[in-house]
Amino acid sequence: MKAIVLVGLNQFDTSWSWSEGITTELQNFVSGGGRILKDDESVSPVDSVATNMQVRAYVIQSDTDQTNNLLARNTANISKLQAAMNGINRPIAYATQSDVWAVPTRAGDTSFVTVLNEKHDTTIGNTQHLIGQTAELTWNTELPIYDVRLGRKVTMAEAAHVDLQSNGFQWYALPPAEVTTPEIAVQLTDSGFYESYATIRNPNPMSGIPVEITVTHTTSGDTATIYSATGLTAKLPLKISDTPGTYSIKVKELLSGLEATTAVSVTDLPAVVDKAVTIHREWDVRAFEERHTVPLTVALTAAQLADSTYVTQAERLVNYYISQGRSAQIGLAEPGGVVKSLQEYQSLLKFPKWKTVDSDLVLLGSTTTNILLLDQARAYVLPEQGQTLAAGEASINLVNSAFIGEYNTLNIVTNGTLGLTAAVDAIIGLTAAPPDAPEYATTTGVTNSTVDLKWHDGKRDATNFKIERRANGQANWQVIATISGETHAFHDSGLTANSFYSYRIRAVNDAGESQPGDILYVVTPAADFPNPSDPNAALPRAGWTATASHSAFKANNALDGNPATRWDTGAAQVNGQYFSVDMQANRTFNKLVLDATGSSGDYPRKYEVYVSQDGITWGSAIASGSGNAMLSIQFPVQTARFIKVVQTGSVGSFWSIHEFNVYNIDTEAPTVPINVVAIQSTDTIVTLNWLPSYDANGFVGYNVYNGSQQVNGTLLTNTSYTITGLAQQTAYLFTVRAEDTSGNMSASSVPVIVVTKETPLSRAGWIASASHGTNKAQNAIDGVVSTRWDTVSAQVYGQYFQVDMGAERTFNKIELDASGSSSDYPRQYAILVSTDGVTWGPAIATGVGSAITTISFPVQRARYLRVMQTGTAGVYWSIHEMNIYLSDREAPSAPSGLTVINKTDRTISLSWSPSSDANGFIAYDVYNGSQKLNADGISVTTYTVTGLTPSTSYSLSVKARDAAGNESTFSAPLTVTTNNAPISRIGWTATASLQAAKAQNVLDNVPATRWDTATAQVYGQYIQVDMKAPYTFSRIVLDATGSAGDYARSYQVYVSGDGSNWGTPIATGTGSSSVITIPHAGITARYIRIVQTGNAGVYWSIHELYVYE
């Protein structure tokens, strides 16, 4: 969790306060790197960020989904929240689609991401229904990813395309490492139930991985299943008293289905030896003697007081409790004794409610006579009425007062005098009670290496406390400290960052130790490596060590911050000399700088850079090249602990390093601004708004472009901008780009085409009047959107609004703006015109209104214009602004020359000749039959239709439209059939002559990834694909569109059935563009090898390789 949002927490008076423990938990969250955000009315007990959000979470009561209404109502709040989140590390997974929610959670040290589909059907009556979609997810992790629904590990590419077609959500788990076969330990507990503890190690135990535990009686086959997780104790549906036999306990981890089994043998219980005395709640009966401050009365009936046996045993009890420090006496269990009177209040129960003395009581009963005193201090029902007691047996039970601090009763029920004597013997023979388990344990502080605990005593004090801890995923509890019973807090240190721990506490006294208190689960935050405020600063080198192949004793000079000292080989440069650094922990970096400027020409003539996480396994070089005095080496981002630079050249001088620095420079651009919209447009002004971009290092600024021309002067810090000085009725194509402090620029946003409104007729000198509210009519032509004219009453037929333009004008359109008054638009209208204000003639236009009602009609010339309201509604009719126009009504010419320039199985790229329009601007729309395919107007004469179905015919055409919205007729239609789909590549593998580790990228369905040679093209380089089974195919496509000119200059294609015998080429050719299509006669094979046979000074790259039948 990265942030907590406080909403509506208004401290409205002094009685309002934070619940105990919340402030500590919030402070722990902030100390661990979290951020507290609050809306405009909330308060926070810890440091927080004010967002100024005014959250509008209410919706009208409805049987339809209100999600979109909520999102629309909170658009400004969403922008403020996103701005407040700037600088927070991006989550483990995120989607840019507003209707896809990626919700991160964590259990133990396993992370989870639930991907929710929030795309609702917009059809009236169906808004509670979801529309299936494929979500595009960006993952920000190096952890393995498991699809819990599929029950297997998935690749990053698979997890990037989330199938939300048949299910409303998908669930991913990300444990610290790949899961292995689970282990399970089972033990019998004091409660008589068996408990299990599942463990998964790789190599260390991992917690939070979901498991299924199945208990099966191997003879009867009876089965029961429960669900738990590694790191937790699970109570099994198995008791020591269950049917004897062998029980199989199977644990299956639910991320990939690995399982393990153990067995438990349950035997017949030994025969229970009958005891003369049964003590219920034995620990409480023991503790009864410790109520030293409370008087005690052994209450006998008159008949019992006349019986010497009862009196003798009562005296034994009195003497015993006095010896234990209690004030005790014998009393009468009747009115006039411990019973003083009936209670004053009425009762619906049939039993009398007695008022008794202020004292604990001991009551003696028999199989025929039990004493039952019910008062408000002692409301109870005897658990043992005596009917089942044999001669000489007894039952003892303690009844607590229903009110804390009041009086308790010890009930003794016996069968005969032998039972009575046995009961008193049992009480006198009881040993002291052990303490109660500690209560209300909680954490008061958590850092990446420490945990602070506190708790309260139980009902009986302890002399000591035992603190027990279970480390991440381990099965056994370890006693980590025994402390004084006077102390109720503990500080645990030396913990591992980003790890899961469990704690429990036992109370101890001379009588023994308590049961453990409730378990506390704690996750320590990730370690905080110093993060320079300058994202391009060198990583701090404190604690780093260096070694070398030569002069190792001087190696640390290169890390000491003193440019005057140095490490050198002490000998001429030869291949194989190395310098190595241990950064003491895994760090993320992408650049090294080796400074040898203080030693003239002692730079490495050639070099290779290697990295390792353990200092043993180094892999292949991540960078190589030729050196210079200030050698800067940049490479793809690495995460490793060890770095080794190997000198691979030769020269007669030493190799020296004065300072060796490591960087994780910011090369990542901010995210692309999204949801760029025009929130205001006039004839000369457009105001844009967009959602903020994210950048890992915090600051993001913005530039706005009209086409390729930047329109803002300085970098914008807000997510809105107003462009002025525009031409009327002109189309502009605006985009926004984000820029971070390192100068990295995002790609352009999706362009938004805005057509400025035509300039309305000047309203200077105009006079407005109306049938109702005439005194406010001028508000509708004052140029101030916040003022309005309204009818001041419900809409009825015949209300009108009228304008005198002062002289005859020519016009063909009006616009009535009521958007500032919700639904106060005219339900129906009729437009009339007049040259004298007296004679009006028939209506020139009629229709139904909306918040902004635009009404076009044939060109008119008149001085007066009247809008008549002809409908009815229970709301006012309002006009905030009314404008009158003379508009362009001529459509552009139809596009011509529609042709296909490229097609695949799912795309068709079109081109056409431009249309013409008297007023210049043209935008285009592409159709399949009558279905418009593009969302926004197309400003160029090419377009690629995507999302098509393979081997399907489409009838495509194009329309042109101008700035006034006039549309041309369709172009001549073009019938195009998409290519057949490529053969499925699931399970295929790839290798190559160079960069074999990246070869799989050509099969991953992610066009942004690629395989490349990492060196210039020369004869003999190859890439090879194993299709895992023979296929018959006739076409191969090599797609390098993401890498400019990195296509193969010439090639040969070989095939094989066994990967060893290749024969002669089945195809040869030359490449001339980023997409190379290689047709050939149909052939059947399992293996394909493409050999590059040309020469070029650029890499050979392939982003995706497709094979077609």
Taking only the tens place, the pLDDT of each residue in 207-229 is 899 999 999 999 999 999 999 99
Domain spans of the chain?
Answer: 3-144, 183-266, 277-429, 439-523, 545-663, 674-755, 767-883, 896-977, 989-1108
For residue 70, report the phi and psi dihedrals to the nearest 5 degrees: -65, -45
- Would you identify the CATH topology of the domain 277-429? Chitobiase; domain 2 (3.30.379)
Query: What's the pLDDT band for 73 if we cut at 50, 70, 90?
Result: low
Least Cα distance to 774 among 762, 760, 798, 791 occurs for 791
Asked if pLDDT for residue 1050 goes beyond 60, the answer is yes
Mean pLDDT lowest for which of 412-416, 691-695, 942-946, 975-979?
691-695
Q: The domain 183-266 is classified under which CATH number: 1.25.40.20, 1.10.357.10, 3.40.250.10, 2.60.40.10?
A: 2.60.40.10
Q: What pLDDT is stored for residue 461 in this prediction? A: 73
CA distances from 1103 to 80, 663, 826, 1000, 1011 (A): 38, 29, 57, 10, 6
Report which of residues 273 and 416 the model is more confident about. Answer: 416
183-266 and 439-523: identical CATH topology: yes
Question: Residue 900 has which token pair?
Answer: 């296909």
* Residue 530: pLDDT band with limits 50, 70, 90: very low
Integer Cα distance of 790 and 708 in angstroms:
45
Q: Which fold does the domain 767-883 belong to in CATH?
A: Jelly Rolls (2.60.120)
Counting residues of the chain whose pLDDT is more than 90, the rounded percentage is 47
pLDDT for 66 equals 64
Write the CB contacts of 775 (distance below 8 Å, at least 6 apart in sequence): none
**So what's the pLDDT on residue 348?**
47
- Among 865, 743, 766, 848, CA closest to 813: 865
Taking the CA atoms of residue 1058, residue 1061, residue 1066 and residue 1069 in that order, the dihedral angle to the nearest 10 degrees is: 110
- Whether residue 532 has pLDDT greater than 60: no
Task: Determine the Cα–Cα distance for residues 685 and 49; give it in Å rounded to an integer.
Answer: 34
Q: For all residues of the chain together, what is the average pLDDT?
A: 86
User: Which letter does DSSP use for residue 839 in this model?
Assistant: -
966 or 795: which carries more pLDDT confidence?
795
Mean pLDDT score, 756-777: 92
pLDDT score, position 359 = 87
Question: In the predicted model, is pLDDT for residue 787 greater than 50?
Answer: yes
How far CA 433 is from CA of 38, 289, 547, in Å, comes to: 50, 10, 64
Alpha helices in 413-542 (DSSP H): 416-429
Just give the CATH number of 989-1108: 2.60.120.260
The number of residues in the chain equals 1109
For residue 823, the SS3 value is coil
At residue 86, the pLDDT reads: 64
3-class secondary structure, 348: coil
Q: 674-755 has which fold?
A: Immunoglobulin-like (2.60.40)
pLDDT, one tens digit per residue, over 795-844 is: 999 999 999 999 999 888 999 998 777 678 999 999 999 999 999 999 99
Among 910, 1057, 1034, 1021, CA closest to 983: 1034
- Residue 779: the pLDDT is 94
Please compute, for residue 198, the number of CA atoms within 13 A of its CA located in the half-sphere on the CB side: 31
Between residues 919 and 389, the one the model is more confident about: 389
Question: CA nearest 955: which of 940, 970, 939, 943?
Answer: 970
Percent of the chain topping pLDDT 70 = 90
What local confidence, expressed as pLDDT, does residue 127 receive? 72
Averaged pLDDT, 741-760:
87
Read off φ and ψ for residue 402, nearest 5 degrees: -75, -5
Q: What is the pLDDT of residue 380?
A: 41
Kindly state the average pLDDT of the residues 1066-1084.
91
pLDDT (average), residues 943-962: 91
Q: Which pLDDT score, from 0 to 100, does residue 1047 have?
A: 93
Contact yes or no for 239/192 (Cβ under 8 A): yes
User: Who contacts 1045 (Cβ-Cβ below 8 Å, separation ≥6)?
Assistant: 1074, 1098
pLDDT band at 378 (very low <50, low <70, confident <90, very high): very low
465-474, 480-489, 544-553, 863-872: least confidently modelled range: 465-474
**Architecture per CATH, 896-977:** Sandwich (2.60)
pLDDT recorded at residue 344: 47
Q: Which residues pair with 309 in a beta bridge?
A: none
CA torsion angle 646 647 648 649 (round to 10): 170
pLDDT higher than threshold 90 for residue 961:
no
Q: Give yes or no for residue 122 having a pLDDT over 50.
A: yes
Integer Cα distance of 529 and 185 in angstroms: 37
Q: Which CATH superfamily includes the segment(s) 439-523?
A: Immunoglobulins (2.60.40.10)
User: Which DSSP letter does residue 82 get?
Assistant: H
Most confident of 38-42, 760-764, 934-938: 760-764
pLDDT confidence of residue 168: 87
List the end-to-end C-alpha distance of the chain, in Å, as a whole number.
48
Stretch 164-168: mean pLDDT, rounded?
Answer: 86
- Whether the pLDDT of residue 376 is over 50: the answer is no
Give, in words, the CATH class of 545-663.
mainly beta
Residue 285 has pLDDT above 60, yes or no: yes
Write the CB contacts of 207 (distance below 8 Å, at least 6 apart in sequence).
107, 108, 109, 110, 229, 230, 231, 232, 472, 473, 500
pLDDT in tens, 997-1024: 999 999 998 888 899 998 989 999 999 9
